[in-house]
Amino acid sequence: MGVTDVTTEPGAPWLIVGLGNPGPEYAKNRHNVGFMVADLLAGRIGGKFKRAGKAQAQVIEGRIGPPGPLNRRVILAKPMSYMNLSGGPVTGLRDFYKVPTANIVAVHDELDIDYGVLRLKLGGGDNGHNGLKSMTKAMGPEYHRVRFGIGRPPGRMQVADFVLKDFSSTERKELDYLVDRAADAVEALVIEGLERAQSTYNS
C-alpha cells in the first residue's frame, strides 16, 4: 500500500504504537513519552492493555471518532521489547491485524524539536531514534509519526543519558497538558487525515 493509498481502504484498521522501554525504572523517562500518550489514549478508549498472543507487545482494540464514516477501528500498542527492538513486535501486530503500513502511527520522543512541540509526518528518516530505526529496518519508512519534542541535552550531557532521565520538575508542570495534546493529535491524524491534523498541531 503506497503513501497515496491511505484512504483507499476505509475498513482497514489503524495501529497506533507508543514507543518506550518496558519496566517501572523507565516509566517517567523522556524516551517513554510514547508510552505516556498510549496510556492516555487507552483511558479514552476505555480498555486495559493485555498481552497480544505471541507478539511481544501489549494491546487494546477499540474505536475512536464520532459515529458514522469517520469512526475508526484502532489497535493501540506498546511494544514490550526494548526500544531498539521495536520493529519485531510492530511488524508482528501489523501482520496479525492486517494493517497497511501507511495506517501505522508511531508516537515517539524527538530530540531536534523544542520541548512539547509536536510534528506530524509520513515517512522520512529515523534521526538516530533507535525505535524508529528498528521499525524502518523491519518494514520500511512509510508509516506515520507523531513526534513529541524533548529538546537537546544541556551542556555536554550525552544523548543516551538525557533521553533515559525523567522529565525535569519544570517540564513536568506542563507534561500532562502536552501529553493530552499529543493524544488529540493522534486522534486527529487517524480521523481527519494527515494534512488537517498537521494544520492544527504542527506548531
As beta bridge partners, residue 34 has none
User: Is 129 known to be catalytic?
Assistant: no
As beta bridge partners, residue 122 has 144
Active-site pick, 31, 108, 129, 144: 31
Q: Which residue has the cell 512541540?
A: 117
Residue numbers annotated as active site: 31
